[in-house]
Amino acid sequence: MTDKLWYGGDYNPEQWPREVWDSDVRLMQRAGVTVATVGVFSWARLEPRDGEFDFAWLDDLMDLLDSHGIRVDLATATASPPVWLARKHPEMLPVTADGVRLGVGSRQHYNPSSSAYRRHAARLVRELAARYGTHPALEAWHINNEYGCHVSRDYSEESAAAFRVWLERRYGTVEALNAAWGTAFWSQAYGAFDQVGVPAAMPTYPNPGQLLDFDRFSSDALLECYLAEKEILRELSPDVPVTTNFMGFLKGIDYWSWAPHVDFVSDDCYPDPADPDSAPFGALARDLMRSLGGGAPWILMEQSPSAVNWRAVNAPKSPGMHRLHSLQAVARGADGIMQFQWRAGRAGAESFHAGMLPHGGEDTRVFRETVQLGEELASLADVRGTRCDARVAMIMDWDSWWALEQEARPASLDYVRVLAGWYRELWSRNVLVDLVRPTSDLSSYAAVLAPATFVLSAEGSANLAAFVEGGGQLLVGYQSGIVDERLHVHLGGYLGGLRDVLGVWIEEFAPPAPGSLSGTPAPALRISGLGEGGASTFAEVVRVSDAEVLATFTGPQPHGGLLDGRPALTRRRSGAGAGWYLATQPDNFGAVLDAVLEAAGVVGVEAPAGVEVVRRGDRTFVLNHNDHAVELTLAGEPLALPARDALII
Ligand code: GAL
């Protein structure tokens, strides 16, 4: 295993003549590359015909990298099946909800439940593991690539059959399934499991329980593919760690259920350089990765050295930005910084995606930055293995995400946007946050934030209530605790099992008024008690049973005064702890957060806007994301930072 930070990227030498490989390894050495990810899309090259393997080129490549001191993150190559396989087994191609079978000619054209795909993938992995499982260059196994990136839901017959098996395992009897899905509604009752199908295109709203279970099943079906490969690697290459690259906030996969199965978490992250919030958004994804691994170091497996090729506008990273994003990942727990890709491609759909070595070659800004970053990461090798310490946690839960964004729901809310809005305020205060689930162990936190935690089981609410009773500060946001894990509504007033600990319940919802047909905007909500500003978003009619009212909606209001005088923010103290409820997203959310953090005794780090300060181990990272220079004082020391520059103290 390497004792350095990982630095390198996807390396696809099979797309280049052999002589280019020699210049690649020479330039990799110059750039301080320590690890290359190899073979991600090499299936057709490794197995050009059914059962006929060609490993000569990969033998050569592994030895070449080894002789230049470059370690290998070896992919199992199962992400893009060869054409011959799809032609031989067209039933392995994915089917969309509209019944369209997807074609060959891009990538990820397999349905996860396909037995032909799984059988052939397993055979390839067995060959690779037997051949390279003890190769001296092998650092880690990289299973598949970005599971679910393009195809996370498949509606084929094979998937439908697998879904039925999954349901039978979950519910045991069809009566239990009917009860869970509430099929008494609209005459949807099933008489046997073999009558159940996937939620393909339907006349109108599908059954919510069926949709949510199909989301869960689809994540599990991909996980089965991963586990099948992992089992082979464990058998033939037991000492080499195994990962698969996650994709941050990917809706299709519940990474909480995947994370226990990787030896280390790895992530692909592509914040838009043109988005002014690219720094906080990147930070949020990095905090999620650290949290998925329970705080253990993780690897940033892919990021672009500059522009990508797949946005409407592919903005380049400004000078210094790539370094800042890389150091941000290290600061937030990464032990490696990898990019897509080493050498910018010459042909194919990603030719216009940046590489560490651009089309222009060595005499380019991007390559110079590649070399500089390599030097800097080499000097940071001793951060490896160190950890970050967060006292605040925020709930992030795929069930809530899936359920909140179904078509049949109370509000049109974008779950990740709601989370990102809360997170941004924490980020700007330099308060480090872990992401957790409602049922996670919360004992190490002083404050827990629960934005839009729509799905809340009895176990989850009991855990949150116990956190408050144990002295914690819990801030719950609108659209939480509305349904249980089967999507059955909590009766007697929304908030379910949190009603007592919060001392409030929710009687009605008041979504933002859409404005008039002629374009007159709807009036914003006014709030007293939170300083400046109101709210222009979702609100709820709160009923207080046993809580202090800290802020109220004041008239005139949309909805004919429905909210007038109603609580916007409440608090119920319970010993040293408190349960806070926020019934809308106020413009001045920062004031709410400050109050909660103060009660929790959590103090951030004061810094100018756009300056990120993070502590990992005994190092403090100070990152100036601004296009201008800043001055600040840190631990009594005055500091000056040029535009888009960083200091590590
Ligand atoms: C990732 C993928 C890479 C490459 C990259 C381009 O999603 O894993 O193979 O396609 O995007 O940004």
Q: What is the pLDDT of residues 554-580, one digit of tens each?
A: 977 778 889 999 999 999 999 999 999
Pair (588, 630) in one structural domain = no
Pair (588, 627) in one structural domain = no
Q: What is the mean pLDDT of the chain?
A: 97
Ligand 1 pocket test: pick from 107, 143, 350 the residue with the most ligand atoms within 8 Å of its Cβ: 350
Nearest to 304, CA basis, from 263, 333, 345 = 345
Pair (461, 579) in one structural domain = yes
Q: Is residue 335 part of a domain?
A: no
Q: How far is CA 503 from CA 136, 493, 496, in A?
A: 61, 12, 12
Q: Is residue 141 part of a domain?
A: no
- Which residues are catalytically annotated? 146, 302
Ligand 1 pocket test: pick from 107, 246, 268 the residue with the most ligand atoms within 8 Å of its Cβ: 268
Stated as kind and residue range, the H or E segment containing 62 is: helix 56-67
Pair (506, 643) in one structural domain = no
Pair (489, 615) in one structural domain = no
Distance 340 CA to ligand 1 centre (A): 7
Distance CA 160, CA 196 (A): 8
Distance 268 CA to ligand 1 centre (A): 8
Stated as kind and residue range, the H or E segment containing 451 is: none
Distance 46 CA to ligand 1 centre (A): 20
SS3 content of the chain, % helix, strand, coil (to 5): 35, 20, 45
Pair (589, 623) in one structural domain = no
- How confident is the model at residue 411, as a pLDDT? 83
Pair (618, 590) in one structural domain = no
Q: Domain containing 496 — which CATH number?
A: 3.40.50.880
Q: Is residue 533 part of a domain?
A: yes
- How confident is the model at residue 331, as a pLDDT? 98
Collect all residues with Cβ–Cβ distance below 8 Å to 532 and sequence separation of at least 6.
587, 588
Distance 45 CA to ligand 1 centre (A): 19
Ligand 1 pocket test: pick from 340, 341, 352 the residue with the most ligand atoms within 8 Å of its Cβ: 340
Nearest CA to ligand 1 atom 10: 350
Pair (501, 625) in one structural domain = no
Question: Using N-to-C axis directions, what is the helix angle for 365-379 and 18-31, rounded to 10°?
Answer: 50
Distance CA 510, CA 502 (A): 20
- How confident is the model at residue 514, as a pLDDT? 66
- How confident is the model at residue 515, as a pLDDT? 64
Nearest CA to ligand 1 atom 2: 146
Q: Is residue 463 part of a domain?
A: yes
Per-residue model confidence as pLDDT tens digits over 206-219: 999 999 999 999 99
- How confident is the model at residue 536, as a pLDDT? 75
Pairing assessment for the beta strands 6-11 and 334-339 based on DSSP bridges: parallel
Pair (620, 491) in one structural domain = no
Pair (496, 643) in one structural domain = no
- How confident is the model at residue 561, as a pLDDT? 85
Distance 380 CA to ligand 1 centre (A): 27
Range of the domain at 617: 611-648
> What are the pocket residues of ligand 1 if the criterion is a CB atom closer than 6 Å to any ligand atom?
145-146, 149, 268, 270, 302, 304, 308, 340, 350, 353
Atom nearest to 145 CA in ligand 1: 8
Atom nearest to 308 CA in ligand 1: 12
Q: Is residue 510 part of a domain?
A: yes
Pair (490, 586) in one structural domain = yes
Positions in the chain whose pLDDT score sits under 70: 513-517, 519, 521-522
The total domain count for the chain is 3
Pair (403, 541) in one structural domain = yes
- How confident is the model at residue 518, as a pLDDT? 72
- How confident is the model at residue 390, as a pLDDT? 98
